[in-house]
Amino acid sequence: MTTKTPEVSPEARFAPRATPETQPYWDATAAGRLDLPRCRPCDQVFFYPRSSCPQCGSIDLEWVTCSGKGLLHTYVVSHRPAPGFPVPTVIAVVELEEGPRMMTNLVDADPETLELDMPVEVRFEQRTGAAVPVFAPVPENAGKEVAR
């Protein structure tokens, strides 16, 4: 994948291509997991994947699989069409349960009903070049014990 000649379609502009240090991230998304590096000395999970801890500089890292749960930190609703994207597109920053924040899209949501800090959960959408992590609102009753 990493040596593929870049495509020239309009959608290719939005197609991520892994580098050696980010390959495990994209391998995980292809398998339906959100994996991020964790610094063993700091016990911090960080985004985006890189070869040393941005907090302490350690290279003693391991990959962990995130829960995929987070909160909607901020967003805009883009009314400008990007090739291959719905209009409007919700461009958002999600704060993961593990701490770091990441850029993403909010999907399966009415833009009018979004609220900051609402719970969201990860999904993976096959886009040009990669499986991309996006987030959707958690249904009202999700995570709650259902009384029987």
Partner 1 sequence: MSREVVIMGAAETDIGKLPTTSTLELHVEGARRALADANLSKDQVDGIASVSVPGPIQVSHALGITPTYVDGTGVGGSSFLFHVRHATAAIKAGYADVVLITHGESGRSRVGAPPYPRANDSVMAQFEMPYGIVGPPTSFTVPARRFLHETDNTLEQLAEVAVAQRRWASRNPRAMFRDEVTVDDVLGAKMIADPFTLLMCCLVTDGGGALVVASREFAEAHGSDKPLVHILGTGEAATTPLISQMEDMTRCKQFTLSSQAAFKESGTSPADIDHLMIYDAFAHVPLYGLEDMGFVGRGESGAFVADGHTSPGGRLPMNTNGGGMSYTHTGMYGMFAIQESVRQLRGEAAAQVDDVSTSLVLGNGGMFMSAATLILANQP
| Interaction between residue 77 and partner 1 (CB under 8 A) | yes
102 binds partner 1 (CB under 8 A): yes
Cβ closest to partner 1, residue 69 vs residue 134: 134
Stretch that binds partner 1, among 36-44, 59-67, 125-133, 140-148 (CB under 8 A): 125-133
Q: How many residues can be counted in the chain?
A: 148
Exposure string over 18-57, b if 16+ CB within 10 A, otherwise e: beeebeebbbbbeeebbbbbbbeebebbbbebeeebeeee
Shortest distance in whole angstroms from residue 97 CB to partner 1: 16
Nearer to partner 1, 84 or 119 (CB): 84
Sequence letter at residue 145: E
Q: Longest Cα pair distance anywhere in the chain, in angstroms?
A: 56
* DSSP run (H or E) holding 127: strand 119-127
Q: Which residues bind partner 1 (CB under 8 A)?
A: 2, 6, 12-19, 22, 26, 47-48, 73-80, 82, 84-85, 88-89, 91-93, 101-105, 111, 116, 127, 129-130, 132, 134
